[in-house]
Amino acid sequence: MKIVTFGEIMLRLSTPGYERFVQSKSFDVNYGGGEANVAISLANYGMNAAFVSKIPDNDIGQSAINSLREFGVDTSMIVRGGERLGIYYLETGDSMRPSKVIYDRKYSSISEAEEDEFDWEKIFDGADWFHVSGITPALSLKTRKLTATALKEAKKRGVTTSFDLNFRSKLWTKAEAQACLIPLMQYVDYCIGNEEDAEACLGFKSGSDVNSGKLDKKGYEVMLANLCKEFGFKGAITSLRESISANDNGWSGMMVAEGKAYSSKHYDIRIVDRVGGGDSFAAGLIYGILNYKDYQKAIEYAVAASALKHTIPGDFNHVSVKEVETLMNGSGNGRVQR
Amino acid sequence: MKIVTFGEIMLRLSTPGYERFVQSKSFDVNYGGGEANVAISLANYGMNAAFVSKIPDNDIGQSAINSLREFGVDTSMIVRGGERLGIYYLETGDSMRPSKVIYDRKYSSISEAEEDEFDWEKIFDGADWFHVSGITPALSLKTRKLTATALKEAKKRGVTTSFDLNFRSKLWTKAEAQACLIPLMQYVDYCIGNEEDAEACLGFKSGSDVNSGKLDKKGYEVMLANLCKEFGFKGAITSLRESISANDNGWSGMMVAEGKAYSSKHYDIRIVDRVGGGDSFAAGLIYGILNYKDYQKAIEYAVAASALKHTIPGDFNHVSVKEVETLMNGSGNGRVQR
Amino acid sequence: MKIVTFGEIMLRLSTPGYERFVQSKSFDVNYGGGEANVAISLANYGMNAAFVSKIPDNDIGQSAINSLREFGVDTSMIVRGGERLGIYYLETGDSMRPSKVIYDRKYSSISEAEEDEFDWEKIFDGADWFHVSGITPALSLKTRKLTATALKEAKKRGVTTSFDLNFRSKLWTKAEAQACLIPLMQYVDYCIGNEEDAEACLGFKSGSDVNSGKLDKKGYEVMLANLCKEFGFKGAITSLRESISANDNGWSGMMVAEGKAYSSKHYDIRIVDRVGGGDSFAAGLIYGILNYKDYQKAIEYAVAASALKHTIPGDFNHVSVKEVETLMNGSGNGRVQR
Amino acid sequence: MKIVTFGEIMLRLSTPGYERFVQSKSFDVNYGGGEANVAISLANYGMNAAFVSKIPDNDIGQSAINSLREFGVDTSMIVRGGERLGIYYLETGDSMRPSKVIYDRKYSSISEAEEDEFDWEKIFDGADWFHVSGITPALSLKTRKLTATALKEAKKRGVTTSFDLNFRSKLWTKAEAQACLIPLMQYVDYCIGNEEDAEACLGFKSGSDVNSGKLDKKGYEVMLANLCKEFGFKGAITSLRESISANDNGWSGMMVAEGKAYSSKHYDIRIVDRVGGGDSFAAGLIYGILNYKDYQKAIEYAVAASALKHTIPGDFNHVSVKEVETLMNGSGNGRVQR
Amino acid sequence: MKIVTFGEIMLRLSTPGYERFVQSKSFDVNYGGGEANVAISLANYGMNAAFVSKIPDNDIGQSAINSLREFGVDTSMIVRGGERLGIYYLETGDSMRPSKVIYDRKYSSISEAEEDEFDWEKIFDGADWFHVSGITPALSLKTRKLTATALKEAKKRGVTTSFDLNFRSKLWTKAEAQACLIPLMQYVDYCIGNEEDAEACLGFKSGSDVNSGKLDKKGYEVMLANLCKEFGFKGAITSLRESISANDNGWSGMMVAEGKAYSSKHYDIRIVDRVGGGDSFAAGLIYGILNYKDYQKAIEYAVAASALKHTIPGDFNHVSVKEVETLMNGSGNGRVQR
Amino acid sequence: MKIVTFGEIMLRLSTPGYERFVQSKSFDVNYGGGEANVAISLANYGMNAAFVSKIPDNDIGQSAINSLREFGVDTSMIVRGGERLGIYYLETGDSMRPSKVIYDRKYSSISEAEEDEFDWEKIFDGADWFHVSGITPALSLKTRKLTATALKEAKKRGVTTSFDLNFRSKLWTKAEAQACLIPLMQYVDYCIGNEEDAEACLGFKSGSDVNSGKLDKKGYEVMLANLCKEFGFKGAITSLRESISANDNGWSGMMVAEGKAYSSKHYDIRIVDRVGGGDSFAAGLIYGILNYKDYQKAIEYAVAASALKHTIPGDFNHVSVKEVETLMNGSGNGRVQR
């Protein structure tokens, strides 16, 4: 199974422990970005995952590529060049102090990449699945066009597609997002997003209050069913996060696919690192759909996989299929494995 | 607004993570002390905060001063000289294992400072507020006299004063504390302290059991009102800590001022570092009273600010006014800020 | 009071923080092993504790010995030689992700030690207590024989003995364990083990479900009483762990000795490092029996001591008698000790 | 004495030890930039040093400012705003492997600052000296104009000026540099630069081969004298670096001022961190001229101060006047100071 | 160009800085081994390098594989299974204190690998070069046989072969080495080794004293020429190390190939990490012969590349072709690259 | 062989790498002091070494004791109590920047110890050698008396004594030193000290210039012979340090004993940590005299051992007899030991 993802990978500079930015004399170095994170997850599940991007031809860019190769992601279709690798600074929150992200990603190589730098024929050769998120088109007008091209080229070749809405208000407005994304939804098989994303990206409404910490399951089911109807998705999926504090979250997921609703187990998570949680959910979903051909199992896999991600530092989800399945089928009581 | 604080700053040597003293091969280096911590908080809120002390004229003393300058505290009135910078060793507790402090602060420069080393005329020039805690007079007979002088000089110039009782049984006896502090209370506008401190420092009684973890709000209200009455304070204030474990505390505050009682929101805190929590409460209170001129807002600000302090390593509270106000007015659910 | 323990000490290589093995560029270095951990605890309580083993004559072996000497364990009866020091790799779990141990302990010096390398006369000279666990005989046929010899030599000299069943399925089968251990139980005064261990090592049955997180106290009492009856133990003891997650465990203990049942307080633990928790329980028990001559106090001491162990990084339990007794008799609310 | 410097401060991300970029999992965090480094040196000598720049209004920008305040630099005239703080990545060389710098400084706040954001009246109020380097005008057309304005405004007020040529081929071409700088030299009192810089920035020629490691002292003297003559400098100064390897350099300096040549002692340096070496030379020169009013002493101070800089990690030169003078007048044999 | 190497990769546990084993509380984690190091170098030069071995199927083994993938080595022909990954402990020497290696590599997966686990047809498909060292056959009787098979299979397919003698007295005796290696030399095109190795592995004599620090160039030339003659090598090559201290070494190389002698430049090295220095020399040689088809350039490349290796921590040589060529053709004066 | 040493052990807080005090956010933790360092060296040589002191009864004091026990020093005669453990802060120099020590050792437990706290009968029971340095009497009037008592009690029992003059101008004046030490020299068998120490402590003159870096061997010989004559020493010994820079020192030693002069090999040292260098020399001398009964071998051992100390971080010399003898008898060329 070959899965292609397309987007940006950034240098992530995070403060150690719970230090605030103004306290840190060193930054932990990781690399990450929505679609790169998805590719890593899938490679860790033993799948053939390729990440496509444009990355500067210097040692920082090379380090980003190495971080992908290290875990088996195919980086052979990454274009080298451009000015810089985007950066995001991260400090980890605690209790009522939220984690904080400062972006310095403007002018990145991928945001200034040109149409003719990518050979879609080669990229999609033998591909089974294509995944991209709403962050990629939000980067620049150029990536907006590239995302559209990629989705069309994928569909043209019969590749299954998934799209993670992932609205980022610092990158574009709702109006810009909707103008770009609504026309693209016809090329999307599986759409991932919560009610906020659906509203911002697709002009869709849902009554649930995401800050309340309570979940209205029925409301989500209706929302997802309506999303499928309106945009013709094969499936609409959302993770459901209950924010109790920066450390403690509830976590579950819901999916409506081919006319039926599927709801997962619920996990109480003590968070080590929640960045990349959504991406690991998307990757789990792709793995689940491709391998189980059973939507209930797919959503359980997606939720268990992404619950585990929250316990691992860095953007990448370093878990095996066996570990995810043990959690799906087990108690999650965390007894030592000797 | 210019605020002056007076006291000791120490070198803080803490073990990394949850290591015990006998395990550590390195110590994290921070600097801190009650009144210095208050000055840092206020400088972080954009106020003109000056810290007054005596600090040895060597590189360790210079590092203490630099740690204050780094965050904008005015250190120009600090006297240089004397033998040594006081030290406190800290190991961080977990669950039922309490954090442990070993003091090595005897013979510090400030504890041996002389009356004529401080120019109070210059120190209080343009000052709006003066803050000191019960730790400063507890250090030595010399600081006992200096604290009295400072309070009198402040009041003489119409500077508002606050006093944080902060009884430390390792520094002096209750009898010594009361002999020193009771006569000084006439120079104090706002007195901060819980029932233990009030009993130890001022010979005051309250029936609440601080180890029980339960709070008797009404009892506190009466205590604070009586404190005001007996000592003529404009306000008496206490933070209310419920110790569930070394990691988990409940946190709120109460104030009686100018005849009315004010009670704050309550926070559940997962602690990163609770040292300096009380100082950040005092600083929040000073900021609140000076800026909102609304006691309810002031106590809410003090409690929110100090709740945040518990999530930050080191003695200093590195939060902005905006962050505190967001917490005061928000849910504290810790969602990532991108 | 002189206590002798006999077994293996390993190099422990653990990933920092919550890193997974594939993420770590450094390993924290500790040394540990069941009986070595017991000796450390007892030395920290001021007792004369000797650890007996065979350790390679190189710098890694020396470092293991130094880690014991550092805390006052008598290492003078350790034999030097053989091929290698056993290793275990450890990554610390979080939430539903369990801690993971990879053993690389085969061919270790102790597993290939010979009968005539140990002078039991000298080892047990003046000894009051001998402790060994089921891990030691599981290492090899040679240690199987050595363990039997040690227990017999101890009993011959009137030394009280304790045995911690500690079944390890990666080291031997239940059949092997039972064939070895059942005949040895006649030399054991105090047997420590939960229902899983009792079943695996001694062919004993109990109805409780260890994964359920709920405890059937009465069931344990009956089990322990039956164990005493069947094998002639003076006492049978078990710690009771409720696994809520990799971070949160309930912790208590139960003992049936000389015909009576004793049950301890219950603690809620936020785990820093649970490896060595069982060993600190055994050590607490030995200390308690020897010093209090009161089984209720002994089980309380064992549970309080081992609860504290969970809050300390590394295999070793660095707590004093005073700290354990403060917890036994106090609230465990974790207020700072200044 | 008040000294003003104007330019860019960057976030410096360096690999620990001798790691290459592709090996590092953390970066050491420092801040630095030519003119900021000069201001730090001068503040460390007890002078009133102000750094003027534009810095983004986020936590990374604030950390840069804090790093200046920490050592007493006046940051009150820094403008806040703009997009980003420039970055440079650094790996430290060894032997024949050179240190490597990767710049990511484009689009920085200072490079996009506008003329009307700086109040030169206020900036130069009471100033005795103004210092800027050739890096500042090289950043953008905007800083090119700003640098010209600053120099003119300084001279208008009778402020002594120094200019460190510091040609950076990655920022501009020789033609661009010369077009900008030659007309500015009329506003410069003291010009610092080696023969490469003089050639690139001012179209000036010298026969010495900077890669040879050998120095032609007489040649330098003639060059510096000619520079003074041609551009009307009060003094022309160069440090003289003999590159033996990435670790070992020879270091000395030469000055021609008011018609006379001055040559310094020579130092053999084992390098800890040579970034900022040139800036510490410029700062030493400014200090020396202002305080000794003796050019020979000034060049000795500059060379001794900058020799010491090479032994200190980070861009900043943390040495005192006393330490520099001890070296100027002593043996440099490095005996322990107890 | 495809190059295949075959051998063992180990977990390398090294003490930080100059700590001795008995001082370290953490170990730096790297992976390395003669032939793996060669493959990494070649991948860093942009070549298609495959490493063949057997590695245990656990997270430690996976980490070793990831460390190879990270830098682009083809790991697809590595067999997974067996008991353990070999380990070597390393402490770095200084001055007259030598670096110290403790091996714990016995019973490793590769040492117990079976003939039928490797598919030489697939391994050598499209290969241009095969490299192995004398360490691989020294590991066990099984690897002795496997090495012979590999060399024969390579030659059978017309693959050029190189063999680095690398005698390790802790792994086998001279008699064992000679019995194994002399018959294999007929399958070797290029043989690498100094006079000690040649004597130990092949029973060959040379009069030079390797501990003297002086080099007898003529003697080496004769030795290499004789080696070629006696064993029919196309080329015999040696690096020439002058050990001045643990930090300072002289470094050069010599080659006799197809009847002519080639001698390289000489470098003075200040050592950061000399482990892997010989492997980087072998890799440089392979690269040089394959790409320049000019023996003089090849030996220059080999020596420059391996000189650079000594400046980089870890076993792996992270340098580019451009960096090596810059050094070959340049001054090696270590000026900063901006 | 039992050796007793008596003095102070301090907490050593050193900055990592080459950081200056004002840069450090963590301190490396070691423990050390002249006589403690001597005891450690001797324990590392397998001798029975006891350290006698008074150390506070808190966790910091316990850690100091543990650091001695770890390496086998007998700590059973250390008195517990008093106010504090002395501290010294250390930053490591480079090139012409010297290492810097800040003492904070006043009021330490040992400096306030009383005569009757030490049971000399028990301390010297079975002792062969007693060692103390001039630092111990310099601490306070109390230690002055204690040192005299210790020397007399030792001599009374026929214990051989050595005294390392070690003048510290921050602790006492030359007049004080001479008044104390000259009368004590009658109890000293072997006196260690250079010409500076001899002049300061004993009023002795020598013409050599210690800052010159050149050594006048004949002059030293005469000085040592005169010292023996004047004070009746069995031997007078000095290490000879040539300070080239903070990194590079020459190192050798000279001894005049029982009428003959002995001069050692000379070593060029690249320094990792020179603190404790003199103590390791004294310890090597004691070992050499006791074990070789050959003064030439003793001085060679002392110099080789202490040369190695300079390559090891921390105060303690972690080398074995075998390592020292290998260096004494070998080339010191630092080839890797595998």
Taking each helix axis from N to C end, the angle separating E59-69 and E34-44, rounded to the nearest 10 degrees, works out to 40
List subunits contacting chain A, requiring 3 or more Cβ pairs under 8 Å. B, C, D, E
Q: Output the pLDDT for position F206.
A: 66
Provide the β-strand partners of residue A102: A89
**Alpha-carbon gap, residue A65 to A74, rounded angstroms:** 10
- DSSP-derived letter for residue A26 is E
Query: Sorting pLDDT into bands at 50, 70 and 90, what band is F208?
Result: low
What confidence tens digit (pLDDT) does each residue in F253-307 have? 999 999 999 999 999 999 999 999 999 999 999 999 999 999 999 999 999 999 9
Contacts of F73 in chain C (CB under 8 A): none
What confidence tens digit (pLDDT) does each residue in A72-81 have? 999 999 999 9
Give A80 to chain E, closest Cα distance, Å: 15
Cβ atoms of residues F164 and F279 within 8 Å: yes
What confidence tens digit (pLDDT) does each residue in B248-258 have? 999 999 999 99
Q: Is the pLDDT of residue A210 over 60?
A: no
Cα angle vertex C85, ends C82, C87, to 5°?
Answer: 150
What confidence tens digit (pLDDT) does each residue in F50-77 have? 999 999 999 999 999 999 999 999 999 9
Q: Output the pLDDT for position E145.
A: 98
What confidence tens digit (pLDDT) does each residue in E266-293 have? 999 999 999 999 999 999 999 999 999 9
For chain D, the distance separating the N- and C-terminal CA atoms, rounded to the nearest angstrom, is 33
Q: Output the pLDDT for position E216.
A: 76
Q: Is residue A337 domain-resident?
A: no
Host domain of residue F166 = 2-329
List subunits contacting chain B, requiring 3 or more Cβ pairs under 8 Å. A, C, D, F
- Residue in the structure block whose two tokens are 């991932």: A192
Q: Is residue D334 domain-resident?
A: no
Q: Output the pLDDT for position D208.
A: 53
Contacts of B20 in chain C (CB under 8 A): 312, 318
As a residue count, chain F comes to: 338
Q: Cα torsion at E281, E284, E285, E287 (round to 10°)?
A: 160
Contacts of B313 in chain F (CB under 8 A): none
Range scoring the smallest mean pLDDT among A215-219, C55-59, D133-137:
A215-219
Give F324 to chain E, closest Cα distance, Å: 10
SS3 (DSSP) at A251: strand
For chain E, the distance separating the N- and C-terminal CA atoms, rounded to the nearest angstrom, is 32
Taking each helix axis from N to C end, the angle separating A174-181 and A195-202, rounded to the nearest 10 degrees, works out to 80
E248-257 and E235-243 beta bridge pairing: antiparallel
Query: B224 Cβ partners below 8 Å, 6+ apart?
Result: B236, B237, B238, B254, B255, B256, B261
Cβ atoms of residues F104 and B13 within 8 Å: no
Q: Is residue F337 domain-resident?
A: no
Of C78, A330, C69, D227, nearest to F76 by C-alpha is C69
- Rg, C-alpha atoms of chain F: 19
What count of CB pairs under 8 Å joins A to B?
Answer: 85
Contacts of B29 in chain F (CB under 8 A): 24-27
- DSSP-derived letter for residue C78 is P
**Alpha-carbon gap, residue D182 to E82, rounded angstroms:** 72
Contacts of B333 in chain A (CB under 8 A): 96, 211, 213, 243-245
Give E93 to chain F, closest Cα distance, Å: 7
Beta-carbon neighbour count of residue C175 at 10 Å?
Answer: 10
Of B206, B197, B151, nearest to B178 by C-alpha is B197
Q: Is residue C8 domain-resident?
A: yes
What average pLDDT does chain A have? 95
Cβ atoms of residues A173 and A140 within 8 Å: no
Q: Is residue F338 domain-resident?
A: no
CB-nearest partner of F29 from B27, B62, B106: B27
- DSSP-derived letter for residue A97 is B
Q: Is residue C174 domain-resident?
A: yes
Cα angle vertex A160, ends A154, A163, to 5°?
Answer: 85
Q: Is the pLDDT of residue C210 over 70?
A: no
SS3 (DSSP) at F13: strand
Contacts of B10 in chain F (CB under 8 A): none
Interchain proximity C69–F67, CB inside 8 Å: no
Of A322, A43, A283, C27, nearest to E69 by C-alpha is A43
**Alpha-carbon gap, residue D63 to D53, rounded angstroms:** 14
A interface with C, Cβ–Cβ < 8 A, is 71, 267-270, 272, 307-308, 310-314, 318-319, 323, 327, 331-338
Q: Which two tokens stand for residue C24?
A: 């770590």
Q: Is the pLDDT of residue E9 over 80?
A: yes
Q: Output the pLDDT for position A90.
A: 98
Query: Sorting pLDDT into bands at 50, 70 and 90, what band is C206?
Result: low
Phi-psi region of B17 (alpha: psi -120 to 50; beta: other; left: phi over 0): left
Q: Is residue A38 domain-resident?
A: yes
C interface with F, Cβ–Cβ < 8 A, is 66-67, 69-72
Cβ atoms of residues A201 and A134 within 8 Å: yes
**Alpha-carbon gap, residue F62 to F11, rounded angstroms:** 11
Backbone angles phi, psi at C315, to 5 degrees: -75, -25
**Alpha-carbon gap, residue E250 to E303, rounded angstroms:** 11
The H or E element that residue C161 is part of is: strand C160-164
Q: Is the pLDDT of residue F212 over 70?
A: no
- Residue in the structure block whose two tokens are 């120095």: D215
The number of angstroms, rounded, from the C-alpha of A274 to the middle of its chain's C-alpha atoms is 12
- The domain that contains C56 carries what CATH number? 3.40.1190.20
How many structural domains are present in chain B? 1
Q: Is residue F179 domain-resident?
A: yes
Query: What are the helix and strand counts (H, E) for chain E?
Result: 11, 15
Q: Is the pLDDT of residue A207 over 60?
A: no
Report, as ranges of residue numbers, the positions in chain B whose pLDDT lies below 70: 206-215
SS3 (DSSP) at A165: coil
Interchain proximity F338–E101, CB inside 8 Å: yes
Q: Is the pLDDT of residue D245 over 60?
A: yes
Contacts of F72 in chain C (CB under 8 A): 69
Ordered DSSP codes for B31-93: EE-HHHHHHHHHHHTT-EEEEE-EE-SSHHHHHHHHHHHTTT-B-TTPEE-SSB--EEEEE--
Percent of chain F's residues with pLDDT above 70 = 97
Query: C330 Cβ partners below 8 Å, 6+ apart?
Result: none
- Measured CA to CA in angstroms, residue C6 lies from C34, C275, C317 at distances of 9, 19, 18
Q: Is the pLDDT of residue D227 over 60?
A: yes
User: Which of A10, A21, A88, A95 to probe by mutation at the B interface, max B CB count within 10 Å?
Assistant: A95
Q: Is the pLDDT of residue D162 over 80?
A: yes
User: Which of C23, C28, C57, C58 to probe by mutation at the E interface, max E CB count within 10 Å?
Assistant: C58
Compute the Cα dihedral for C21, A299, A191, A271 and give only its sign: negative
What count of CB pairs under 8 Å joins C to E?
Answer: 71
Q: Output the pLDDT for position C336.
A: 84
Q: Output the pLDDT for position D184.
A: 98
Cβ atoms of residues B109 and B56 within 8 Å: yes
Percent of chain F's residues with pLDDT above 90 = 92
What confidence tens digit (pLDDT) does each residue in A143-158 have? 999 999 999 999 999 9
Interchain proximity E71–A72, CB inside 8 Å: no
Percent of chain D's residues with pLDDT above 70 = 97
The H or E element that residue F43 is part of is: helix F34-44
